[in-house]
Amino acid sequence: MTSSASRLKKLRTRVRQHGADALLVTNFHNVTYLTGFTGEDSFLLVTLDSATLVSDRRFTIQLAEECPGLDLVVREPGQLMLPTVADLVEKTGVELLAIESASMTVGMQQALGELAPDMRFVLSGNLVEQLREVKDKSEIEATRLACRQAAKSFEAARALITPHTTEKQLAAELEYQARRFGAKRLSFPPIVAVGARAALPHATPTDQRIEDADFVLVDWGADSGLYVSDLTRMVVTGRLSQKFARIYEVVLDAQLAAISAIRPGATCEQIDRVARDRIEAAGYGKYFGHGLGHGIGLEVHEAPRLSRGQDKVVLRPGMIVTVEPGIYLPNWGGIRIEDDILVTKSGHEVLTDVPKQIDDCHWG
C-alpha cells in the first residue's frame, strides 16, 4: 500500500467516526499529504470509498507525474471551484460534509451551502493534522535531509561573515547556501539578530552590521522539497563576556535536560516543564516567554506543541519536535538554542548535528 493510500484509509476511519459522509480537504498542505500533489488551488473530496482531487488545467502534466491513478476533476478556464465542488458532492451523494474549519472561510461555507442546499455541514477540527503528527519512514528521511541541508548552509554562510556583514546579508546568504546544497528554499524567512535585537524572538533582519555587537542569533531551517527543519544557533563575533557565557550555559543546560526527557508516553507539558524549571531556578524564568517547542513536518509549525496547557498531549514514536528554550533580556539581547528531535520507540534521536557547546559559538 502506498503512503497516500495508507493515509487515506486512516482518514476515512476518522471521517466515519466523525459521523460524516465525506471530508472536503481545503488546506493546501493537507492535500499534499494525502495525495502527493504539490500544486496550489486544489481541493480534495474524501468519501468513505473514494477520493477525488479538484484542480485545473494548469496542473494537468504535474497531476499525472505526482499522483497517477488519482480520480480527478479538472476545471476548464472560467469554471469556478465552488460550483465544481458542489456538483461533485451532489454526484457522490454526500449528505453530511465535514469541512476543515481552520482553512475554509465562512464565506466559502455559505457559498457552498447555497450551491448544494440539501447538504449539511459538520466542522471537522483537525482530522488530517492529527494524522500528520506522527511521521512515517519517508517523512523522517525527508526531515533528516532538511536537517543536513540546514547544517551545510549554516556552516557555509558562517564562514563568509565579515564585520561589515549585515543581518539582511547573512539571511540572504543562508538562503543561497541552502539552495546550493539542494534545498528547495529555506523553511521560513530566517531570523538574524545582532546584539540587543536578539531579545526579539522573531526579529526581522535589518541593515545592522555584525560588528555592532559581540554576538548574533541565527534561526533558520531548510525545506528539502516538502519537509522542513528548524534550528537556532548563537555566533559570538566579538568578546565572549561572562554574562553571555553564564546565560548561554543556562539555556544549553535547559535544552539538554528537556531533550533527555523526550520519550514515548511523556506529555508535552512535562517536557516544557523540565526546561522551564532549569531556567526558573537560575533566576531567568520571566525572560523565557514562549513555549519550549513545536512539531515540524510539511509546515514549520505543526502539532504537537511543547508548552504549558498540553498536559494531555502524549508524545508518540514518529513525532518530530523542536526543543528551543531561550532567555531574552531587554536592551541586552537574547540567547536561544534549537534542535529537531525525533521521538523513537525507546526514547529519542537528535536529528540536527550543528555543534552547540559554548566553544563552538566562536566565529572564525
Q: 61 falls in which pLDDT band (50, 70, 90)?
A: very high
> Which grid cell is 323?
526543543
H/E stretch holding 350 reads strand 348-350
The amino acid sitting at 67 is: C
Across-strand partners of 193?
A: 217
Give the pLDDT of residue 357: 96
Asked if the model's pLDDT at residue 196 lies above 60, the reply is: yes
Asked if the model's pLDDT at residue 362 lies above 70, the reply is: yes
Give the pLDDT of residue 70: 95
Give the CATH number of the domain where residue 97 resides: 3.40.350.10
Give the pLDDT of residue 363: 83
Residues 109 and 212 grouped into a single domain: no
Q: pLDDT tens digit string along 308-356?
A: 999 899 999 999 999 999 999 999 999 999 999 999 999 999 999 999 9
Residues 114 and 162 grouped into a single domain: no
Residues 298 and 357 grouped into a single domain: yes
Write down which residue in 87, 102, 131 finishes a domain. Answer: 131
Name the region of 225 (left: φ>0; alpha: ψ -120 to 50; beta: rest): left
Residues 93 and 171 grouped into a single domain: no
Give the pLDDT of residue 1: 57
Q: 229 falls in which pLDDT band (50, 70, 90)?
A: very high
Residues 218 and 182 grouped into a single domain: yes
Residues 123 and 220 grouped into a single domain: no
| Mean pLDDT of all residues in 206-210 | 97
Query: Could you give the number of structural domains in the chain?
Result: 2
What does pLDDT average to over the chain?
Answer: 96
Residues 115 and 166 grouped into a single domain: no
Asked if the model's pLDDT at residue 166 lies above 70, the reply is: yes
Q: 125 falls in which pLDDT band (50, 70, 90)?
A: confident
Asked if the model's pLDDT at residue 122 lies above 70, the reply is: yes
Residues 85 and 150 grouped into a single domain: no
The amino acid sitting at 155 is: E
**Comparing C-alpha atoms, which of 192, 153, 152, 154 is closest to residue 171?**
192
Instruction: Give the domain extent around 62.
Output: 3-131
Asked if the model's pLDDT at residue 208 lies above 60, the reply is: yes
Asked if the model's pLDDT at residue 128 lies above 60, the reply is: yes
pLDDT above 90 as % of the chain: 95
Residues 306 and 332 grouped into a single domain: yes
Residues 36 and 16 grouped into a single domain: yes
Give the CATH number of the domain where residue 192 resides: 3.90.230.10
Write down which residue in 131, 166, 192 finishes a domain. Answer: 131
Asked if the model's pLDDT at residue 37 lies above 80, the reply is: yes
Name the region of 109 (left: φ>0; alpha: ψ -120 to 50; beta: rest): alpha
Residues 340 and 280 grouped into a single domain: yes
Residues 286 and 164 grouped into a single domain: yes
Write down which residue in 78, 110, 131 finishes a domain. Answer: 131
- Distance CA(242)–CA(236), nearest Å, equals 12
